[in-house]
Amino acid sequence: MHHPKTIWITGASSGIGEASAYQFAREKANLILTASKADKLAEVRQECIRLGARCEILPYDLSNLEGIDELTDKALAIFGQIDIVFLNAGISQRGKTTETDFAVDRKIMDVNFFAPVKITKRLLPKMIENGGGTIAVTSSISGKFGFPLRSAYASSKFALYGFFETVHAEYYDDNIRVVMVCPGRVKTNISFNALEANGSRHGQMDAGQEQGITAEQAARKIVRAIHRQKPEVLVGGKELLMVYIKRFFPGLSRRMVRKIKAT
């Protein structure tokens, strides 16, 4: 009888995080869920328990970097160890570079980059002590190429690749595996919560997002990749072609990005 895996998911109150939580819950995992919306998180917890998982929640606003060490210690204490962490929380952006308040650049970097960095630095020694673990991280196809109206968002997602590819190289022999999750268009509320140039919420669903695959479809593919410890999983539809165009035809990809009618 194998003991159930313990999984900590951030950004678990909606979208990819919520759908992945249900996917893991069906496997009877031990779940720890974090997100800033405590009420929504409590509902997700009820559903995870209904699906057969043990599940605890740690509501937290990841833009507050000061408390992250303590948050990570609490997560570790709940079931005694963490086998898989899915660093999925993130905020997007809608604003041209010169019009965007620097405070917005900072907040996006804090939530999307520095929060996962702090969690990882705190968690790694314990994971290594326990014989290893899997760190899954939600980047984006915007982590592969810059995209209009997303300068801070793309930067934060590029930075995740740099940090986590290094972690993968440094701790591979300690049985640490990194899974880079690279979504294209997935139908979630990320565009609703995106920050405008002045820091206010975008508050609408982008047309591109509307055409995306569902969070459930994405979660199925992501959870499978996490179990297989695939170094990278691309999730989405035909927009993922851009990743290959960038790799093999960089000049063409730059021209295409310039012509994107970004919303």
Residues 6+ apart with CB under 8 A from 32: 6, 7, 8, 9, 55, 56, 57, 58, 75, 78, 79, 82
Radius of gyration of the chain (CA): 18
Residues facing residue 234 across a β-bridge: 182
Alpha carbons 64 and 110: distance in angstroms, whole number = 8
Q: List active site positions.
A: 153
Residues 6+ apart with CB under 8 A from 139: 157, 160, 161, 180, 181, 182
Residue 240, burial from CB neighbour count under 10 angstroms (0-12, 13-18, 19+): middle
